Structure 1
Amino acid sequence: MTTPATAQPAVISTIAAVELPGPGQPLAGGIFVTRYWLNGQERALILLPGELEGAWGEYGKDVATSYSDGKANTVAMAEAGSKLAGKVLELDAFIPSCLEGQLLMAAKHAGLIILREDRWHWLSTQYSANTAFYVDFEVGWQDGSGKGNERLVRPVRSLLIQ
């Protein structure tokens, strides 16, 4: 049985660079993972507590193809009918992309965050219309799996750094 992620009150969407805590410290309802660049903007990646479980969904549909933008992917998934993506968005969060999944893995190996190693976790980047990427947080490799398979999701959020 997985621990359900709990709904968080609305959180800030931006943060001043001087207000950022150190990696591994609390921020915006989760743990600050790292700074990264996305679509020409510097952002703060935050790992939220809890996890969800479900199928990626939308088998046969070409839905979410960004390798780096998990929020755009998760919105596209939900708009296409993914129940899992809809639940994550209700938390003011998103499913990490392939890039964001690797940033989580790097933080885990640095001892900044704890991630389950006994289950595979969905990423929001699809591999094809029938498969999507998942990550193994034990060793960090990514692969594709049928969108109907049940996997875990660790919701994240991202703040614009000003």
Structure 2
Amino acid sequence: MTQHAQQSVAAADLPERGQPFAGGTFVTRYWLNGEERALVLLDDELTGRWGEYGQDVAGAKSYSDGTANTRAMAEAGSELAAKVLELGAHIPSHLEGALLMSAKADGVATLREDRWHWLSTQCSADLAFGMHFGDGWLFSLVKSFERLVRPVRSLPIQ
């Protein structure tokens, strides 16, 4: 497993939004589980299935914690989640997807507009959230279909 070396960042070392940082593009600052974090969008683009239709992944229901969701997905057998974790990254959560859409609208991030992207937040045993960055639609999609993923990193800000 390849892990990205940087584990945290000093607030003074953060670049402007939209600038290269930590192996991708710095998107924004946000709060997760009581901790301020930096969201970084990687350039990598993967395609795959979220998981198995009808399989409930109990640990992948967080609307905010994409890392926890992605780990739960991988533990449940998601090849896509395992590949993203190998990059030292995770699949964006529902919240992180909305932050990416905001960054795209602000002109600080580039995301494909022609396909649906998986988010790591599960809706049910059959469905998980996906986002269409062309118009910002957020929808529940059948987990066994292939969709895109743009991995992200979330680094604690010191």
TM-score normalised per structure 1 = 0.93
Structure 2: gaps (5+ residues) = none
Measure, in 1, the Cα distance between the counterparts of 2:3 and 2:155: 15
Residue correspondence of structure 1 range 71-82 to structure 2 within 5 A: 71-82=67-78
Measure, in 1, the Cα distance between the counterparts of 2:105 and 2:2: 27
Within the candidate set 90, 98, 102, 2:94 is matched to 98
Aligned residue number for residue 66 of structure 1:
62
Measure, in 2, the Cα distance between the counterparts of 1:121 and 1:34: 19
Q: Does the CA-based 8 Å contact 1:74-1:89 persist in structure 2?
A: yes
Within the candidate set 149, 154, 157, 1:158 is matched to 154
How far off its partner does 1:8 sit?
6.6
Runs of 4+ displaced beyond 3 Å: none
The percent of aligned pairs where both chains have the same amino acid is 66
SS at match of 1:85: helix
State the one-letter code of the partner of 1:148.
S
Within the candidate set 119, 124, 128, 1:132 is matched to 128
Does 2:6 correspond to 1:12? yes
Give aligned pairs, total. 156
Aligned residue number for residue 38 of structure 1:
32
Measure, in 2, the Cα distance between the counterparts of 1:139 and 1:161: 31
SS at match of 1:15: coil
Within the candidate set 118, 121, 127, 2:117 is matched to 121
- Listed one character per residue, the Cα deviations across residues 80-112 of structure 1 (whole Å, up to 9, x for unaligned) are 110000000000000000100000000000000
Judging changes above 3 Å, is the alpha-carbon distance between structure 1 residues 23 and 45 closer, same or farther for their aligned structure 2 residues?
same
Q: Does the CA-based 8 Å contact 1:122-1:134 persist in structure 2?
A: yes
Q: Does the CA-based 8 Å contact 2:3-2:86 persist in structure 1?
A: no
Aligned residue number for residue 111 of structure 1:
107
TM-score normalised per structure 2 = 0.96
RMSD of the TM alignment (CA)? 1.2
Does 2:102 correspond to 1:88? no
How far off its partner does 1:58 sit?
2.8
- Listed one character per residue, the Cα deviations across residues 97-129 of structure 1 (whole Å, up to 9, x for unaligned) are 010000000000000011000000000001101
Measure, in 1, the Cα distance between the counterparts of 2:8 and 2:18: 18
